[in-house]
Structure 1
């Protein structure tokens, strides 16, 4: 799979990465582990070069064990930030790989396993960050749950709907509420939305609903806390090759993932998302709040 030497190397974006899992319509057990994927994602291990843009920052990244969360944690560390990651206990192996990447960058890594569907666990994440770091400069709400149901609303159970909302919305609300008192002027909150907020797929109706709500929440919270000098923005990814894809989609969807959804004809790699989070976390985006940056390969 071709890739850039680093994120500054100029390439044809259509050919920077190949189509993941093409001809390998493999599914894996939820929540999905990176080592079980038919084609390993690029998180920036060899391609992300830091420039000190987050030197001395203290960051919290939920869902930091794999996928976009791992890529963000890696990029933050290489930019000079210490990082706390939260994740489900069954994702411990992936989480430890993220820890290794952060520590190899010379930064502190803190882990807090647990289920963010519980308000107490969300408070534990924030309390641990404050105890370890003394403050929080960036909160990245990235943890999410989806499970595609090709039959649409008829196949979405109340149990699944509840899990999606608790993971994607309630946790974000609880984490932000707990974190805001600890955020100083110049701090940032970054919420992960999705192209699904703007172009929902019937099979992901519940997931898309939460992603639309995240956009609205981001804009409302931005207006609420800018008086404290805190900025709130969102990144809306398009199709991204993460463990969630083979763990939540039918094999035929996995094989063609990203090919039709994006004008570029391919899915993104997690490493391609990380620079947007770095930008929104850094002082370079000082006049940006309440906005959504779409990283969708041209999808609208």
Structure 2
């Protein structure tokens, strides 16, 4: 593998004509995303821990699931019903690493489902040590009138409300040394004019991360977030035009989109003893795009 970060993943142009309907599937993407299937090597950093990962079926969630399993964790995978084939593929990689995979389909916009996810994880895997709030809905707009009340509420329910409900349900089961890792975005600071609502939800996640860290640090539970830049995941062909897909990541300092595998080490760090003095942090993985 090259050590040149400019060449560590495919560079644009990507094939532009590959739009998908929501929620999108990995199997339909060209080129296939790299989730670390052949590259991630574990070091025993999460031995015998249990992680619940939302959006664990594909993209960043799949890469984190694979990495956590190879670090020794059992993994509960939350996903939408339509993503069943992707979720089964992720579970196969988890089990190939010798760990248990628990598949949990359903819609995070439903509060009862969020609480049931934690309850089933504890009931079937015995505990919960790590909560990764990664699933997200991305709403795109051209103008101010393009986003309906339904879009607005749905985005906040999926991206922010679910995160809160899951933390509420998980924390009573968590012991000192447990961790919550949230997925925000460079959009929390960059706030592209075509991603008004998505950026707003990601800003809320960044602030919620700090608040939860302040609240839970006295219990020995760390809370941090990762801020991805443009990453080659199914959310891209759902939300982007062919022209945007072709040039995805070209405007970053490294000149390319990131691969899901390049995010996984940050999530491992924030969940493991290696990050024991990190709480309330936002870790950018943006290809060099600044967040300030």
Whether contact under 8 Å (2:15, 2:30) holds in the other structure is: no
**RMSD of Structure 2 on Structure 1 (CA):** 1.0
Give the distance between the partners of 1:110 and 1:80, measured in 2 at CA.
15
Whether contact under 8 Å (1:240, 1:270) holds in the other structure is: yes
Following superposition, the deviation at residue 23 of structure 1 comes to 4.0
The reply to whether residue 281 of structure 1 matches residue 271 of structure 2 is yes
The reply to whether residue 249 of structure 1 matches residue 240 of structure 2 is yes
Following superposition, the deviation at residue 21 of structure 1 comes to 5.7
- Specify the alignment match of 2:170 in structure 1: 179
Return closer, same or farther for 1:137/1:206 CA change in 2, 3 Å cut-off.
same
- Specify the alignment match of 2:261 in structure 1: 271
Mapping of residues 8-27 of structure 1, within 5 Å: 11-19=3-11, 22-27=14-19
Give the distance between the partners of 2:282 and 2:121, measured in 1 at CA.
26
- Give the 3-state SS of the residue equivalent to 2:213 in structure 1: helix
- Specify the alignment match of 2:197 in structure 1: 206
- Specify the alignment match of 1:85 in structure 2: 77
Deviations 1:2-59 (A, max 9, x none): xx3xxxxx61000111226624342112110011112210000111111111111110
Deviations 1:169-200 (A, max 9, x none): 00000000110100100000000000000101
The reply to whether residue 142 of structure 1 matches residue 134 of structure 2 is yes
- Give the 3-state SS of the residue equivalent to 2:225 in structure 1: strand
- Specify the alignment match of 2:101 in structure 1: 109
- TM-score after normalising by structure 1: 0.95
Give the distance between the partners of 2:245 and 2:148, measured in 1 at CA.
23
Whether contact under 8 Å (2:80, 2:105) holds in the other structure is: yes
Give the distance between the partners of 1:20 and 1:245, measured in 2 at CA.
14
Following superposition, the deviation at residue 293 of structure 1 comes to 0.5
Q: Give the 4+ runs in structure 1 shifted more than 4 A.
A: none
Counting matched residue pairs gives 290
- Specify the alignment match of 1:220 in structure 2: 211
- Give the 3-state SS of the residue equivalent to 1:110 in structure 2: strand
Give the distance between the partners of 2:153 and 2:12, measured in 1 at CA.
31
Following superposition, the deviation at residue 227 of structure 1 comes to 1.2
2:154 to 156, 163, 168: 163
Whether contact under 8 Å (2:15, 2:245) holds in the other structure is: no
- TM-score after normalising by structure 2: 0.97
For structure 1, list consecutive stretches of 5 or more residues without a partner in the other structure.
5-9
Deviations 1:74-122 (A, max 9, x none): 0000010000010000000000000000000000000110000000000
Give the distance between the partners of 2:200 and 2:115, measured in 1 at CA.
25
The reply to whether residue 120 of structure 1 matches residue 112 of structure 2 is yes
- Specify the alignment match of 2:20 in structure 1: 28
